[in-house]
Amino acid sequence: MDLFIDANRGGRPQRQNLLNPNFNAVGVYTCEHGNMGQRFTVIDYAGKMEMKSHATETIAALKEKYHPAVEPEEPEPERCSILPEDVVTPNDCGLFEKFNEVRTNPSSMVAQLDELLADDALQGENRYLVFKARRKLHKQRAGLKAFAFNDSLFLAAADHCKDGTDNGIVGDVGSDGSFPSERVQKYAKAMGVEEQVDASAVLDSVDKAAQYGIVNFDLEQLFNPHTKFGALATCAHKTAGGFYVGLTAESVVPSKATLQKIDDIIK
C-alpha cells in the first residue's frame, strides 16, 4: 500500500510499475534492512521471461525443502446417513445403496436374475417370481432418480425392526397395532408413505439380500417416480432369522423433537 500511495518515493515509479499492463510476471523478496529492525523489499517486474536451468533447479529444491509433497489421503467413502455406524449399520447403507442402484439402473440386476433362470434346479413358484422380476426390470429400462436417505424414515423403520426382534411381528402392522404411516408420524410429517418388510431376509450378503428383495417384493414401490426419500433398517428377527424394513415417502418434514433426537444420537 505504501508503494502505491507513495508512488515516486526515491525516484522509483512504483505505481506506474504496478499498473503497467505489459508486466505479467513479478518477483517479491522481503528481508530485514540493517540492524534497525526495518523491512527491505525488492520487487522485480517482467513482461517476458525465460527461466534458466539452474534457477529451475533452485526453485525445485526450495519447494522440496519448504513445501514437501504430501501424499493425499484416500477420502473416506460417504455414508448414506449422518447417524453413526452403530445406529445406521454398514449393512443398512449397503442394502439401501444396492436398491438405489437398481432404481437408477434397472438393467444392473438383470444379469444376476438371468444366472438364476439358467439354473434348471430353480422350478415352480420360485422360478416364476424370478422371471416376473426380470421382466419388470426389462420393461422399466429407464432409471429414476435415486432415493435420498432420510433419517426420520430410518428411525421409524428401526422401531418396526426392533418390534420384530422383540415381539416377532412379521408384517406391516406393529405389535401395538400401528401402521407404517402412524410410525412415521411419530418422527415427521410425511406424504406417500410405503413400506416393505420381510421376516426371512438373507442379511449375510448385501447382493443376495438385494436380489431376494427384487424377486420377492412389489417393485412398484422401488419404481414409484413420485417417491423421493427412503430408508432401510435391518436386524435380527425373534424367530425367522433376518428382518428387513424399508420405508419410502414422497415428502418428509421432521419434527423439532426428531431433529433434536438426531443431534443427540450424533453427539
Specify which residues 26 forms β-bridges with.
45
**Residue 162: what pLDDT?**
95
**Residue 105: what pLDDT?**
93
Per-10-residue mean pLDDT for the chain, 267 residues long? Answer: 55 69 79 73 79 82 79 73 94 93 91 89 88 89 91 97 93 94 96 89 77 84 94 90 91 96 92
DSSP state letters, 217-228: S-HHHHT-TT--
**Residue 201: what pLDDT?**
65
**Residue 28: what pLDDT?**
79
Residue 72 neighbours by CB under 8 Å, 6+ apart: none
**Residue 265: what pLDDT?**
93
**Residue 76: what pLDDT?**
64
Reduced 3-state DSSP string for the chain:
CHHHHCCCHHHCCHHHHHCCCCCCEEEEEEEEECCCCEEEEEEEEECCCCCCHHHHHHHHHHHHHHCCCCCCCCCCCCCCCCCCCCCCCHHHHHHHHHHHHHHHCHHHHHHHHHHHHCCCCCCHHHHHHHHHHHHHHHHHCCCCCCCEECHHHHHHHHHHHHHHHHHCCCCCCCCCCCCHHHHHHCCEEEECCEEEEEEEECCCCHHHHHHHHHHHCCHHHHCCCCCCEEEEEEEEECCCEEEEEEEEECEEEECHHHHHHHHHHHC
**Residue 16: what pLDDT?**
74
**Residue 256: what pLDDT?**
96
The C-alpha R_g of the chain, in whole angstroms, comes to 32
**Residue 1: what pLDDT?**
56
Tell me which amino acid residue 106 is.
P
